Structure 1
Amino acid sequence: MNVYLSTAQAKSIVLQLMQIFPEGVSLCDEDGVILSSSDTGRINRTSPLAKQCIEQANSGKLYNERVVDGNVTATPLFFKDVCVGAVLMLGDNEQIKCLTSIAKAVGESVIYQPYLKDTSQVSDIINFEFLSEWLNTPGEYSLDFYRRGLRNGIDVSQEYGVVLLDGIWNQLSAQKAVESILPHSNYYICLGNNSIVLIMRKGYDPSIIKELSMLFNDVSFATGRTGPNLNEAFVSAQNTMFAGKRLYPESMIYDYRDFEFAYAISGLRQVQFDTKINELFAQPIYDDLVQTLEVFFKESGNQAEVINKLYIHRNTLKYRLDRIQEITGKNPRVFEDLFYLYTAYILHKLKK
């Protein structure tokens, strides 16, 4: 899509802003050329101040929302992440400083309109763009990012967590379900056709996840950390989903606290295990032994619980543990050996 600011759009923006800036207002394109102005004699002239403002905004570095020269203030206008023009406002700098955000909101809403079937969708589209950037912005947020959040009704200075939904087959139905359950001041964004990310304020009720899970079949839920940076929470939820699906595919809800250690182990790529240990986890003939080990891991080596969970005789468990020791040279009854086997198991499952 080619992004440009048409003369008709420029006129519309100037007409609306003339009520706010009676001393004078102009609208410039991406090259700093004035497309429309309350002073018609300035049309088609290039404004060095606007050009400086636009170049700074498109530099990829932190930029000033206001560039001032005497009694003229310039502020950039964006479509998505591209600066497509600037507003020039005449008047007292301190007064204009308080009105800059209004000028940006008016200008950018007009710019978005041709790309929408319904102008009432403007705030939704802007929110989508902002939420997507919020999810993928690591580190500390810039002052401009905070301000953009507030213009969208979102306070990014608060702590949020992420819940990732994966495996959705009907996106529209899923969105309606989420909207009906998600409390106020929480948000969601769709990723592709199969996933939805819930952005949840710190302290959210975890029963929301169970409530949503009852509405979907075969949809997996993964929680992430809660903190001041949403990207870290998002990555945490993605890691949880990755580990959860491979380690416990029969489950549908994965809590990051149950998988952080397992995912951390998956980074130990330099560890080399004995071939016989790898064969234990890879060969179908050992499925009964692997299943026993999996329950043994979950029950922290409690043999009575393992017998109850597997519905096997005590002698059967003894035979399987002895057989595991015979194959691998590691005794599951010994903590260090059990941990060694657990690490090998995690790496095998997560590398598949």
Structure 2
Amino acid sequence: MQFITYELAQEIVERTMKILNRNINVMNDEGVIIGSGDSERINQLHAGALLVLKKGESVEIDSSRAVRMKGSRPGINLPIRFSNQIVGVVGITGEPEQIRNYAQLVKMAAELVLEQSFLLERVQWKQMLQSEIVNQLISEEGLNEESIKERAGFLGINLEHPRIVIVIEKSDYTEISNQKLIRSVQYEVGKTDLIGITFNNEIVILKAVAVKESKGELTPFLKRLLKVSGGKVLIGSGSLAGNIKELKSSFYQAKRAIMVGSKLLPDASFYHYEDYQLEVTLAKLAQDEEDKSAFSYYHKLLDQGKKGELIHTLEAYIREGGELNKIADSLFIHRNTLRYRLEKIRELTNKDPRNIKDLIELYMAKLLHDIS
């Protein structure tokens, strides 16, 4: 297995040469130079590196010894170790007496860069695997449950745990990149949670929760997500998925909560599906209605009244559950004025807000208008 690539070797060279005013060479486990401050030496065989690989220890080459070794220059060559094995060699050009104090520092720097690269690759691999699993769970039909459970097991995650799907969408004002956003969010998710990016660049969290966990207990987590995201995102949560098959439904519930909630309450921070279940259901029914003109009577309310007073009255009537005193107080009008407005709504739309069936139809018409 090749631990040190040409790109990684050159990164080691550039990092160490910024600190030391000396040429640095990095050789692979066959003694071939794959990184150097002298580009002409790339792909040359390094005699000092071959000695290091053979002996398993550092090798110093002074001027007199360099003359006897073809193609060699004075310097110190040290083994690069990773996972208890020698995976390459790093060399510093110069007289050993002058550079001996720096040799171990260069070796440590090379091994640190290698370790960081390995850890980064593992993190990236884990992130890619999580995204793949998340996308399969929320989108695929006929899912092979045993196969995906096994893959999640590689990450130490039990998919049998009840979960709530959380969707994070970037708003039109968000400038943060997806990678930076997901890195910020990752610090907040738990070890048993799954996080991924969909093909539409949404961040999806399959959050493991207790069966009896309430919306209030989830809210602090959503607030933390909002904070680390910089506040310029839309966050929605679906209902509890008790098994793998229910995750897809929870995902679409979270998306619909964002779609409807952001239109009805654009200043809200996040949207729980259970808070918008009625609105989501009615909006879907309204959108599925082929004859959109069936709700055209709502536009008559938009065209009537000063500053949309009839619309505000209908909204207050819905919000206050039809209690006339509360409605009048919230609108700062007399009850007689309120009765006049309700009668005006009935005349214009042929729908009486005081009739529950008519009120539902008015609300559907309002929702269709608001989310369009």
Say whether the 8 Å CA contact 2:134–2:204 is kept in structure 1.
Answer: no
Q: Deviations over 1:86-115 (max 9, x none)?
A: xxxxxxxxxxxxxxxxxxxxxxxxxxxxxx
Task: Please state if 1:248 is matched with 2:265.
Answer: yes
Q: Percent identity?
A: 24
Q: Which amino acid aligns with 2:163?
A: Y
Task: Please state if 1:164 is matched with 2:167.
Answer: yes
CA distance in 1, matches of 2:253, 2:266: 18
Q: Which amino acid aligns with 2:181?
A: A
Query: Judging changes above 3 Å, is the alpha-carbon distance between structure 1 residues 283 and 145 closer, same or farther for their aligned structure 2 residues?
Result: farther
CA distance in 2, matches of 1:193, 1:148: 23
Q: Which amino acid aligns with 2:260?
A: A
The structure with the largest helix share of the pair is: 2
Query: Judging changes above 3 Å, is the alpha-carbon distance between structure 1 residues 251 and 310 closer, same or farther for their aligned structure 2 residues?
Result: farther
Say whether the 8 Å CA contact 1:240–1:254 is kept in structure 2.
Answer: yes
Unpaired runs of at least 5, structure 1: 1-7, 10-115
The number of residue pairs the alignment matches comes to 238
Say whether the 8 Å CA contact 1:224–1:236 is kept in structure 2.
Answer: yes
Query: Judging changes above 3 Å, is the alpha-carbon distance between structure 1 residues 274 and 208 closer, same or farther for their aligned structure 2 residues?
Result: closer
Aligned to 1:48: none
Q: Normalized against structure 2, the TM-score is what?
A: 0.55
Q: Deviations over 1:272-311 (max 9, x none)?
A: 5364334325779773221221232122212333334344
**Which one of the candidate residues 289, 294, 298 is aligned to 2:310?**
289
Q: Which amino acid aligns with 1:199?
A: L
* Aligned pairs for 1:299-338 within 5 A: 299-338=320-359
* Aligned pairs for 1:1-352 within 5 A: 119-120=121-122, 121-138=124-141, 141-166=144-169, 167=171, 168-171=174-177, 172-191=179-198, 195-203=202-210, 205-206=217-218, 207-215=220-228, 216-227=230-241, 228=243, 229=245, 230-265=247-282, 266-267=284-285, 268-270=288-290, 273=294, 275-281=296-302, 287-350=308-371, 352=372
Q: Which amino acid aligns with 1:123?
A: K
In our comparison, the structure showing a higher alpha carbon Rg is 2
Query: Judging changes above 3 Å, is the alpha-carbon distance between structure 1 residues 309 and 140 closer, same or farther for their aligned structure 2 residues?
Result: farther
Unpaired runs of at least 5, structure 2: 3-117
Runs of 4+ in structure 1 displaced over 6 angstroms?
Answer: 282-286
CA distance in 2, matches of 1:277, 1:169: 37
Say whether the 8 Å CA contact 1:186–1:198 is kept in structure 2.
Answer: yes
CA displacement at 1:208 relative to structure 2: 0.9
Say whether the 8 Å CA contact 2:238–2:250 is kept in structure 1.
Answer: yes
Q: Normalized against structure 1, the TM-score is what?
A: 0.58
CA distance in 1, matches of 2:126, 2:295: 58
Q: Deviations over 1:138-188 (max 9, x none)?
A: 455432222122123222222211111222431455334423332331132
Q: Deviations over 1:230-285 (max 9, x none)?
A: 21211111121122122332323211112222222223514653643343257797
